[in-house]
Amino acid sequence: MYARSTDITAKTSMIDAGIRYVEDQLMPTLMDMEGCVGLSMMADRATGRCVTTSAWQTEDAMRASAPRIQPLRDQYVATFGGQAPMVDEWEVALMHRDHRSTAGACARTSWLQGNPMSIESSIDGFRSILSTLEDLPGFCSASLLINRETGRAASTVTYDSADAVMQTRGPANTLRTRVAQQSGAEVLEVAEFELSVAHLRVPELV
């Protein structure tokens, strides 16, 4: 499984209009493309940061979709009143769900940079903490996206509520530090979001 993420800073006053565009226009169009299996969107209403991710059955399907997606991305950015997007393509290394998300769900994403030669250590390290993550209050799901060429990774843990995200900051920081140390990776950034659109139909991958 593969994924493409688009990261923008939107005008905060336009986030709701952007979410409607994603749900009503972008997602149905993408789901009609060969190999697309789902889409999710996270938003930080305080900063305007929005990350939308599409999931694909194969790398070939993801790459083949690029020409058709470009005009959709332009409309996406315009609808949010955003600037030039940052686009990343990933391999879905891990996906684990305790249960599907419901209204009010929130997420914490951590971006890490490591040696491409150590990417398997990063995967193993993240896999080793899944059982601990499951015990955290409000745990819903966890995923790990990787780029084997650059050594970059993005882990996202979804919780049932903003309160659960707040409660788990300390334990999550401890687990993140442990995985980074084990794999020799650097934590580049950590951000928290509301889960605005949840239709990323990636199967269990552990």
The answer to whether position 136 is within a domain reads: yes
The CA-based diameter of the chain, rounded to the nearest angstrom, is: 43
Residue 203 has pLDDT above 90, yes or no: no
Residue 5 has pLDDT above 90, yes or no: yes
| pLDDT tens per residue, range 31-57 | 999 999 999 999 999 999 999 999 999
Residue 11 has pLDDT above 90, yes or no: yes
CB 116 within 8 A of CB 148: yes
pTM over 0.75: yes
The answer to whether position 33 is within a domain reads: yes
The answer to whether position 126 is within a domain reads: yes
The answer to whether position 48 is within a domain reads: yes
**Mind spelling out the 3-state secondary structure of 155-189?**
EEEEECCHHHHHHCHHHHHHHHHHHHHHHCCEEEE
More confident residue, 77 or 205: 77
More confident residue, 102 or 197: 197
Residue 8 has pLDDT above 90, yes or no: yes
The answer to whether position 79 is within a domain reads: yes
Residues with Cβ < 8 Å from 139, sequence gap 6 or more?
98, 133, 157, 159, 160, 164, 168
Please tell me what DSSP assigns to residue 116.
G
User: Region 58-74: what's the mean pLDDT?
Assistant: 95
Expressed as residue numbers, the domain containing 63 is 2-200
CB 98 within 8 A of CB 140: yes
Instruction: Look up the CATH number of the domain holding residue 62.
Output: 3.30.70.100
Residue 206 has pLDDT above 90, yes or no: no
The answer to whether position 96 is within a domain reads: yes
Q: At residue 25, what is the residue type?
A: Q
Overall number of domains in the chain? 1
The answer to whether position 154 is within a domain reads: yes
Residue 136, pLDDT score: 96
Cα torsion angle, 196, 199, 204, 206, sign: negative
| pLDDT tens per residue, range 130-180 | 999 999 999 999 999 999 999 999 999 999 999 999 999 999 999 999 999
The answer to whether position 206 is within a domain reads: no
Q: Which of 154, 155, 162, 156 is nearest to 137 (CA)?
A: 162
